[in-house]
Structure 1
Amino acid sequence: MSPCRQCNFMCPRDPCNFAPDITNIRRPPFKDAGWSSCSLPCKLLRRPLQMIRPAFADWGSLLPSAEQLNSTTVCPSVSVPLDESQRVLLPLATPSVSEGCNSLDTQGPSQAKPPVVAECLTSSGPISAAAMLLGWDAAPVGPRRLAAAKTPLINLDVSNSAQLQALLNFDRTAIVDWWHVHLFLKSCSRARGSAPACRDADNLFGCQSLSDSAAAQVLHDNQLCQAVTSILFRAYESKALVSLVGPARSWCWSVLAKCVKTRVPSAFVDWYFNLADQELDTCMYGSPFVTSLLVKASAHAFHGLSLSCDKSHSHRAWTPPHSTVNHFCDMSLPSQLCQAFCAKATQACLTPKAHKPAELRCRRLRAQVRSAAANQPHYLPSLIPEFKLKLPLAQVPATADFKLLSRTPGSDTGELDEPESATKRFKAAAKGDGSRGSSDRDAVALDMAGVYHTMEEHLELACALSCPADTSERVPDQLRKNIFAVLTEGPVSISKKRMLALQSLNDQLAQLESTEKELRQKMHPDVDSVTKGKALSLFRQLLEETKFPDLSVLDLLEGGVPLVGQEVESPLFSKRPKPKEIEPEQLSAQAALRRQALQRMKGLTSEQDYAAMKAETAEEVAAGFLTGPYRSEREVSDLLQTDDWSLSPRFLLRQGEDSKIRIIDDFKMSAVNRAFGSSSFLELQDTDYAVGLLRFPSRVLQDRSKVRVPLSDGTTLEGDWSREMLSCPALLGKTLDLSKAYRQDYTIYEFKPAASLLDKVLMRLLDLLGWTYAKAGRKFVAFDAKVVSLGVSLGLGELWSGVLTVENKPGRLEKISHMLRAIASGKDVSRSEVASLHGLLNFAGGLILGFELKPTARMLSRALSGPFLGNTPELKQACASALDVIAQCRPKRCPASISPPIILYTDGAYEKGIGTWGAVLIDELSGARWAFGGTVDSSLVAHWKREAGEQVICQVEAFALAIVLYGIRGSVKGRSILAFIDNDPCRYGFIKRYSPSTSLLRVISLVALLEGSLEALLWFERVPSKSNPADLPSRAEIAEACARFKLENKGDIALTSTMKDFLWARDYEPVLARAILESARLEADWTEEVLQ
């Protein structure tokens, strides 16, 4: 018996007439768990499939629709969500090919993020279930779990302020693209029959004389409407998609509208009332009964949902979908309607111009990348939320400090004394006592407040924080596992594996010779010329063996890189959509006109730059990267056989201290860039990442009993030290220069016994692949204990002792100083020279080398932002400041251990012409718990008033941080400090290291000088005044602060005459700055030596 050609089963007849009587099937034929099954190509006749459909539908199986059965196209695969209990039953996939000598895990999962839908106030999650079938990530949120739920729910009751905040906090980490809300609120139903009404037009927030249970239900639903308002406000902020669905004639729409009107700003209210209203009947979406629903949703996305009953069918009476449900809810929504919602949301997400959450996600991704390098964006979310919780004013505890977030006109609220519970207060307002009208009762229900943390609570939360700039957290697990392998197996064992792998690659290269030849015969001649010498087939095999997540890079290598169109999304990167501004067809149509306009532009290149650019271009022609030269447009048109080609001018940049030449093809000028849409967000591994990477193994090396390598998920790899590693061999580094890579410098680290062999293995590997790299000259360096990488010199000699040394690479500071002296002395300067200096200063700064040069970089940036005025007095002062900082620069010693940050609260007060300041310091490492407080020198306050006017509170707040930092200079060398400030203009000035106010800028400059001399890292956080422990000592209540927070009173800190003169000076005084720097550095060094 052979497989039937018709149905692919073993049949006695071929072809068969397979049409048994299956109408009486009662259970699945393969229900027994003891049977195994497999999928075969389906070749059954359509008629039996149509007969099987009702039975299979009863079993919950997925079957193709009639349209799919009649189609000749292949259906796309559908991702089926599995819970953990189902996932463990699946067989483990075993790799079909060897992974070479690397026995560690392959790279992690894709970083690409699917869109996210949050379905709120749901009972069964029908929208989430439909969305997941289309590739969405879903968060169905509801107050309870039901057995009939279509997808597992996240049990959150958003009427509870803490649980609502948890949902909104979820949106801070996983930006929600679409918020869907079900508004099936029981107390908002219109009165029918003899049932008493809970609401009416005059009593939207509850009628009088309600029973206790009805009043509680009304209060709960009112709180839900407030919660929905907060959710809508979050959607308004993030520009997410929004859809709300509920009964068309329910009071919930009026209650929600009233809640929205209490929120500010008015733009949010306008946004809500601009959402499109659509009414539909459920029967038109396949429901057997008819219910009229109202949909309020984003107009650009959810249009075309309105369908009224066409009277072409009969209706059944509505029946409860579950024994615990006695009113219409989302469980009764027809599946076709849910699918329609999801289809329209999916289409909207494919239109970046109409859908904006990706922009917010990109902004936050960028902020996270910058914060890891201690480059603090002012819009980064606070480490500690402003409010502990948000809740109706009636529920605010009597002793709590709060801020009124929304207020109904005419409401008489805001006092702190609210003795009654929320339920009692609502019922009293609902019943009325003659003193309150309907609007007053509405106000009671609508007023929302944010409750501040107490000072003790905020202090406790702050002490649990780590510094956001701890870059060691960015070391991926793959590198951590490699470190573990080297330390436990030893360099010699790893070297043997490398040699075996290299031998295997040599054999594979010979085996793939014919495959490579066939591949190149099919390639475009230009692509073949550019990739000449590259072993593309071997490269493909290596990527497939290691399960590289994005094999589309091979398509680019073999087919060429498109310059226009839409980038193919890569699973390697997070997403940052940048849509095309023009279509490629438009670019082609405009090509001839744009060429004429570009050729009429006057060239600004000097003869020297032109000669260098011509020489570099000739080298690229010789290498096969370019063809030419061509003398006319006609030659190019004849070559390309079209007149629709774009002309992109080239220009030259000289980078770095040695004026390295970079040739840039300006695709912006030719508008080619405008015809390309991208989606990837790249996080480059910068200097701060390199330092964090080296600090990580240095910490591991400090434990000589066992090799313990923590992974990012909290688990720890543990093993015995290799015998070779017990002798503490030196770690060496080498920077490999790839000649034609976007990022040329790749730094490799290896322990001394294996370094020399690794050098040879790497060069042989690159030779096999055909990659060009520096093999001689200045760019070719050997492994050494000091390696130059990304513009800094990394000293590895003390890594076993737990210290990494970092400094600017040789020559950089000398060149910067030479340029600064010319400007500081008053010589003329050009815009290009200022731009070059600005770039060098940015490269010379950062987390590892300090931010003390940032004020000068800010001033240079301002000089470049408008009409260039040449060498101004402000520019001279900024350059003089930078010279003082550079004079004090010395290698920075980064300890392997990451200490907990110092927690510092500062505050200033200015009343009746007197400035006072206070501070609270907590250091978990040393156990210090100190309080400071004092009065600002009256002559200094008078000086600030003459310069800035009567309001000098920002200067007083900034002075508090400056004087405390100077006072604790002996205790903070090399430490991270989380500085909490309750004055936002002051905090923004410190983050930017700049202020337009001269007097405030002088205080900021003083803090920058101290930060640099003490090799400290300052991170500035916001704290509300009501939560700021430093508020007490700033108001001469230091004794109370010491008692409440268990602090030691350190009293006032004297302002030295040198610091006073520096702050008093109208212009920057280099002599005074140098004196402050030297004295602070000397005392910090002396204290460090004594403590050691």
Structure 2
Amino acid sequence: MPWKGKRILLVGFTPNGAWEDAARAKVLLDLGFVPPSGFHLPKAVQETPSNLPVPHPGTPDGGPIRSAIDPPVPKPSRVPYLLELFCGSAGVSSAFIRLGGEALGIDRCLLPRSIKAPCVRLDLTRASDQALILDEVRRADIIWLAPPCGTCSRAREIPLRASSGASGKLKAEPLRSAACPEGFPNLSGVAGRRVRLANQLYMFTAQVVELCVRQDKVCVIENPSRSWFWSTRWIKPWVARLHSLHSHACMYGADLKKATRLLSTHQLPSMQATCDGAHAHKSWGLTKSRGQWGFRTTGTAEYPSAFCKAAASDFMEICASRNAFPAQEVVSEAFGVAAAAGRQPRGQSFQVGPSEFGSTCTMRVPVSVSVSEVIDGQTPWPLQGLPLGSRLLNSRTVTGEGGEEGVREVKFGIFRTPDSFLREALKMRHPFDEPSTSDMGNIRAMQVVLERGVEGTKTLRQKTLDYYRRRELELRSDEEALKATMDHRLAAAVWTVPKEAQACRLGRIAAEASCKKASPDLDVARAVWAETLEQVEKSWMKGPFSWAEIEKKYNGCWIPSKRFGVAQSDKVRSVDDLSEFLINSAVTETEKITLEGIDHIVSLARFFLGATTAGVTTFRLPASEGQWVTGRLHSDWRGGRARLLRGRALDLKAAYKQLARHPKDGWVSIVAVLNPDSGEVSYFEAVALPFGAVSAVTGFNRAARALRRILSILFSLVTTNFYDDFCQLELEPLQESAREIAEEVLGLLGWKIAQGAKALPFDRVFNMLGATISFERAAKGDVLVKNKPGRLEAIEEVVMRRVSERRCDRKRMLSIKGKLLFAAGHVFGRCAQLATQLISHRGNDRHQGREHMDDLLNALQFALETLKSGGPRCVGAWSQQPPVLIFTDGACEQEGNLVTHGALLFDPVTGRKEVFGDHVPKCLVERWKGGGKKQVIFFAEIFPAVVAKATWKDVVQGRRVLFFLDNEGARFTFIRSYSAQVNATDLLMISA
């Protein structure tokens, strides 16, 4: 035994299921109990009253009076947050997010195509940026630092052989040594500057570590084991105080035996795996790629995926001991909105249904024990106590402190029993009926309308508007003073609402040639020219200028961008091509814009219609965090009047042009426009945001989202926005109030609204984002979505023209396919989407004979006819009725000679239970085997789902249904309505 003498054994018991109750779990955490592996803090589903609670008179702050025996209030848990400095591709952040945490990467240079997680570009050598980072460090739970090691690399000390062919092309002289770890004193030029900047980063790294230690944060520094970085005067003192963890990249899946050292405030058991010699490595040294010599160390900067996962796993364990737990479900806003609108998005970001494992078991076993993937009768001790069939989920080697031999930590998933799985499935609500992740502003706006009634809502909106009108008068002088400080070149746009010379000559030739090439249609070119001159009159642009005038103004340092026109149905849209000469390539955007499209509008309409029903005096709306907004329904809306829903589109006029670009960006805001009458190219300086700039999209959407939140939160207007297209939803008696308030608020804020056909009143049927939304059946709880009048007719005209000509080249084929998919997307035209796949199959066929063309044209006609016959998309009101459960399975045995299938149905509403099972007809199996296939399990898994929908169509019609399939390929095929297997298309068509 490891102890001697007297000892006291304390045993603590917790009742079964204590960790499944939110209140009990919080108390246990506050008392210091360690939660079970894989624990997620349960969400407490509460009824949130719509009225604010009345303050209790017993305490000055209105809080409740606490007695002496009240239990301590546990600290609320939180989602852990990781900050990754010098993040590169942000691999650690990505792994941490996948485990349910929050993370942000920061670096000076970010490559958009390589970034794996949200990142911000900051210069870590700049004092102002360092101050921002230190503020963020104070918020974070974990800080990961990986300072650049290029100047500290020991590989610089390795001499290059003259025979290598690269000795004269690669110069990697040492910049530091044991005697001079901060750099040789005689360094100058580029090398000296690199060392100085690196030292600034090392000094800042030490500053971050000191802050983390002082505030008890988890902090980890990463660098190569032999890097001179560890010997610098800023880092060396911390080496003696913190944990040094050594590992080899080959143990995490890398090809090279790269030695890595971590300096950590906490032990990280998974980050100490050193090479076991059981695998081969690539050799170090030089490498040649595309004719260029380089060091093999160049490609080792990015961490292996397993390395990132191991670090994230250790961080989660530390955070759990600090009452920080991963989010229970990591669901994107786009996923939640799409699901709420009745569309199952693609991807694996969200698990639908209970997990297949009822529990997990984590054990530590000797490294010598052979661990199998599945527990069976031959499993060695000490794993014999696990249930048969348990599956290995994770395995890692944990090294003991002091370098002693470690142990293997294994985590097994224990499958649920069929009865247990069914019980959990019966507790589920269908994802389409779950509260969406749309912002609470619109939900609260619905609450105000339903609770206050017609006059109460009008009064509230008018009082709010009157308040901000008074504030506008009070602040008018301050606003004018602010305007006076603006750059004079921008104020009008916003408030009226030698080698270099040679390069410039080449730039002029390229710009003007590109501009003329992009304007082959004179009518389009004239429309673009006329619009440009109109923008000059409105002070959105300045010009026209000649090349010489712009050259003189910017002293040869400027970049032109051609402007070209895109002919649309009702106008010509001018686009500024800031990509051609790489202006957009110089911009890094890591933020992802979540647009509120048709799905979002339909989702909100469903919640509005489903909030109450006839004969009920209360309403109920979904809220975030699994809670509800409830209240008493005003008498104005009883008797079914709460379903008199109306909608309209509200469009900002020339939206991008109502915002100014930065004064210092003039040199990259020059637009080249062809004058079609003279044939000459003139130059204009854009003062407002150019339509075609990457940053203009992000900048405008920030402003547009702010406007939408102002309308919904401050003025209780149910509103969405898709770029500059706003959609308003309102009940009929309040539609004039909603229109007037929205337009007055936008006018008060200085925004201009489109008029005429783009400013139509509220109606039961209205056009939005290329679709027609109808509330004609809102009394029954239905929202209808269909294509705008004329769209299908226009597509049909193009298709029939191709049919009559018996000709369709690849470019036209792709154009027609795109139009069909766009039209099908509005109405959930799964049949039409499947039909377009036949177009792709025929279009990608290399055979270009008459038979091929006939097949392609037939596929086009079939897709069009399928879409025309499909009718509008119908989305029902939000409901809490439990879904029908259908379990399907297929089997393929004896090399495809025995193929069987079956399904089970359970309806929790009626208690109906049915099952079927059968052999798949041989004629179908033979068809699936076309092309020499022996295994047809993919088809066998699809088939029972198709049969189940046909067999139980009377049960599932009008109901939510959850299908459980145990084949990922089949599941994704149904979600996407697509399969690369042509033979599966017929099955999908029947299912659709």
TM-score, normalised with respect to structure 2: 0.55
Partner of 1:961: 945
1:35-114 equivalences under 5 Å are none
Partner of 2:861: 880
Corresponding position: 1:1006 with 2:987:
no
Which of 641, 659, 663 is the aligned partner of 2:554?
641
297 and 510 in structure 1: CA distance in 2 versus 1, 3 angstrom threshold: closer
Partner of 1:903: 885
Shift of 1:911: 2.8
Identical-pair percentage:
23
Letter in 1 for 2:349: L
SS of structure 2 residue aligned to 1:606:
coil
Deviations 1:95-147 (A, max 9, x none): xxxxxxxxxxxxxxxxx9994279xxxxxxxxxxxx9xxxx9x99xxxxxxxx
Partner of 1:299: 223
Which of 820, 824, 840 is the aligned partner of 1:845?
824
Counterparts of 1:533 and 1:113, CA distance in 2: 46
Contact conserved, 1:803 with 1:893, CA < 8 A, in 2?
A: yes
Counterparts of 2:592 and 2:226, CA distance in 1: 29
Corresponding position: 1:681 with 2:589:
no
Contact conserved, 1:702 with 1:801, CA < 8 A, in 2?
A: no
945 and 706 in structure 1: CA distance in 2 versus 1, 3 angstrom threshold: closer
Deviations 1:563-616 (A, max 9, x none): xxxxxxxxxxxxxxxxxxxxxxx9999887655444444714431432333333
Deviations 1:270-304 (A, max 9, x none): xxxxxxxx9xxxxxx99xxxxxxxx9974379966
Partner of 1:799: 778
Shift of 1:824: 5.8
SS of structure 2 residue aligned to 1:907:
strand
Shift of 1:522: 1.9
Shift of 1:934: 1.5
Which of 705, 730, 734 is the aligned partner of 1:750?
730
SS of structure 1 residue aligned to 2:489:
helix
Deviations 1:793-834 (A, max 9, x none): 222244344332332222223323333444566732355544
Deviations 1:469-528 (A, max 9, x none): 447523432222221211222222222333344444444444444333332322123321
Counterparts of 2:853 and 2:551, CA distance in 1: 51
Partner of 1:991: 975
Contact conserved, 1:491 with 1:751, CA < 8 A, in 2?
A: no
Contact conserved, 1:394 with 1:425, CA < 8 A, in 2?
A: no
Shift of 1:380: 3.2
Counterparts of 2:416 and 2:820, CA distance in 1: 41
Partner of 1:1059: none
Contact conserved, 1:492 with 1:753, CA < 8 A, in 2?
A: no
Counterparts of 1:981 and 1:786, CA distance in 2: 39
SS of structure 1 residue aligned to 2:870:
coil
Contact conserved, 2:620 with 2:630, CA < 8 A, in 1?
A: yes
Which of 692, 707, 719 is the aligned partner of 2:603?
692
Letter in 2 for 1:731: L
Partner of 1:1041: none
Shift of 1:687: 0.8
**Runs of at least 5 residues in structure 2 that lack an aligned partner in the other structure:** 1-58, 64-77, 106-141, 147-180, 182-208, 211-218, 243-262, 269-300, 313-326, 387-404, 657-722
Which has more radius of gyration? 1
Counterparts of 1:981 and 1:858, CA distance in 2: 24
Deviations 1:216-253 (A, max 9, x none): xxxxxxxxxxxxxxxxxxxxxxxx99899xxxxxxxxx
Deviations 1:874-919 (A, max 9, x none): 5334323322322322233322133433332222222342322111
Partner of 2:73: none
Deviations 1:694-747 (A, max 9, x none): 111211231632244443245544443334333627332221121223623212
Contact conserved, 1:796 with 1:805, CA < 8 A, in 2?
A: yes
Counterparts of 1:532 and 1:317, CA distance in 2: 59
Counterparts of 1:410 and 1:724, CA distance in 2: 72
901 and 645 in structure 1: CA distance in 2 versus 1, 3 angstrom threshold: farther
SS of structure 2 residue aligned to 1:982:
coil
Counterparts of 1:379 and 1:868, CA distance in 2: 37
SS of structure 1 residue aligned to 2:915:
strand
1:199-238 equivalences under 5 Å are none
Corresponding position: 1:480 with 2:443:
yes
Partner of 2:99: 172
SS of structure 1 residue aligned to 2:789:
coil
Partner of 1:614: 529
Corresponding position: 1:668 with 2:583:
no
Counterparts of 1:172 and 1:317, CA distance in 2: 30
Contact conserved, 1:903 with 1:979, CA < 8 A, in 2?
A: yes
Contact conserved, 2:83 with 2:144, CA < 8 A, in 1?
A: no
Counterparts of 1:791 and 1:303, CA distance in 2: 59
Partner of 1:123: none
Partner of 1:326: none
Deviations 1:315-340 (A, max 9, x none): x999xxxxxxxxxxxxxxxxx97499
Partner of 1:720: 632
Counterparts of 1:923 and 1:669, CA distance in 2: 58
Corresponding position: 1:711 with 2:623:
yes
Contact conserved, 1:653 with 1:662, CA < 8 A, in 2?
A: yes
Counterparts of 2:823 and 2:510, CA distance in 1: 40
604 and 872 in structure 1: CA distance in 2 versus 1, 3 angstrom threshold: farther
Partner of 1:731: 645
Partner of 2:789: 810
Counterparts of 2:60 and 2:98, CA distance in 1: 32
455 and 720 in structure 1: CA distance in 2 versus 1, 3 angstrom threshold: closer
Letter in 2 for 1:116: L
959 and 598 in structure 1: CA distance in 2 versus 1, 3 angstrom threshold: farther
Partner of 1:914: 898
1:410-449 equivalences under 5 Å are 416-417=376-377, 422=382
RMSD: 5.3
SS of structure 2 residue aligned to 1:680:
coil
Which of 542, 547, 565 is the aligned partner of 1:652?
565
Letter in 2 for 1:523: M
Shift of 1:353: 8.2
SS of structure 1 residue aligned to 2:786:
strand
723 and 806 in structure 1: CA distance in 2 versus 1, 3 angstrom threshold: same
1:965-976 equivalences under 5 Å are 965-976=949-960
Shift of 1:954: 1.9
Contact conserved, 2:617 with 2:638, CA < 8 A, in 1?
A: no
SS of structure 2 residue aligned to 1:933:
strand
Letter in 1 for 2:634: S
363 and 733 in structure 1: CA distance in 2 versus 1, 3 angstrom threshold: closer
Contact conserved, 2:82 with 2:143, CA < 8 A, in 1?
A: no
Counterparts of 1:301 and 1:673, CA distance in 2: 39
Partner of 1:116: 82
Which of 341, 349, 352 is the aligned partner of 1:380?
349
Letter in 1 for 2:902: G
979 and 816 in structure 1: CA distance in 2 versus 1, 3 angstrom threshold: farther
Partner of 2:185: none
521 and 415 in structure 1: CA distance in 2 versus 1, 3 angstrom threshold: closer
TM-score, normalised with respect to structure 1: 0.50
Partner of 2:655: 741
596 and 387 in structure 1: CA distance in 2 versus 1, 3 angstrom threshold: farther
Contact conserved, 1:821 with 1:879, CA < 8 A, in 2?
A: no
Contact conserved, 1:394 with 1:422, CA < 8 A, in 2?
A: no
Counterparts of 1:472 and 1:861, CA distance in 2: 37
967 and 652 in structure 1: CA distance in 2 versus 1, 3 angstrom threshold: farther
Deviations 1:45-103 (A, max 9, x none): xxxxxxxxxxxxxxxxxxxxxxxxxxxxxxxxxxxxxxxxxxxx99899xxxxxxxxxx
**Runs of at least 5 residues in structure 1 that lack an aligned partner in the other structure:** 1-88, 94-111, 119-130, 140-166, 179-239, 245-277, 279-284, 287-294, 319-335, 342-351, 396-405, 427-441, 535-585, 1009-1092
Contact conserved, 1:407 with 1:447, CA < 8 A, in 2?
A: no
